[in-house]
Chain A
Amino acid sequence: QTVVTQEPSLTVSPGGTVTLTCASSTGAVTGDYHPSWFQQKPGQSPRSLIYNARFLHSWTPARFSGSLLGGKAALTLSAVQSDDEADYYCLLFYSGAWVFGGGTRLTVL
């Protein structure tokens, strides 16, 4: 069974920078996994931020960026704001199947 692993929790100070990662039990995450990143706040549906590793939607603030880093997918938040406090999920593609990671709870403190 494929497992996608994220940091369970991270804390960042307002104005700081933080990188969340997404690893695959099958090995290095490459562009073929088409990583996506989602933000979810309490009581809301998840919202897509990044797709195909590094592409931002029109609604995604420019302080969010996606990349492939050290065999993992990565989501970097720069100039973090209190409004960025949320759960973040990555999603990877495995030859016809899409699998979510367990999520990272980001605290801005």
Chain B
Amino acid sequence: QVHLVESGGGLVKPGGSLRLSCAASGFTFSDFFMSWIRQAPGKGPEFLSYINGRSNDIYYADSVKGRFTISRDNAKNSLYLQMSSLRVDDTAIFYCARLGNGWSPGDSWGQGTLVTVSS
């Protein structure tokens, strides 16, 4: 079955950088759009970014545009999120999620990785 495992979260100072990874298994990774979604403590999810299988269709929410970069390595079945210029309000659980076929966004989610931005 589909399995997504995020890693790379941790504590970082404001202005710092962090790279998140998501290891995918159980499906043909290159066939699917993938996304990053975050959820701040006590808040609802926020859709941040998606990338298609060929990495030529990429979207960023305004809140992260210019600071975050999504990428993927289909040979390694891995999705990445490079985050820079981090702010305190970027503190959240970051989830990797698959965009399923037939307009089914988030049909599978990872367990999330916590990013804390604090001095």
A89 touches B45 (CB 8 A): yes
A38 touches B61 (CB 8 A): no
Given contacts A51-B100, A51-B103, A55-B102, contact A97 B45 (CB under 8 A): no
Chain A, 29-82, CB within 8 A of any chain B CB? 34, 36, 38, 45-48, 51-52, 55, 57
Q: Considering the chains assembled together, what is the distance between the CA atoms of A103 and B100 in angstroms?
A: 22
B7-15, B16-24, B104-112 - interface stretch = B104-112
Q: Considering the chains assembled together, what is the distance between the CA atoms of A101 and B4 in angstroms?
A: 24
Asked if A27 CB lies within 8 Å of chain B CBs, one says no
A-B contact count (CB 8 A): 63
Asked if B26 CB lies within 8 Å of chain A CBs, one says no
Q: Which residue of A lies closest to B111 (CB)?
A: A45
B45 touches A48 (CB 8 A): no
Q: Considering the chains assembled together, what is the distance between the CA atoms of A97 and B61 in angstroms?
A: 7
Q: Considering the chains assembled together, what is the distance between the CA atoms of A1 and B107 in angstroms?
A: 26
B residues whose Cβ falls under 8 Å from a Cβ of A: 35, 44-47, 50, 59, 61-62, 95, 100, 102-112
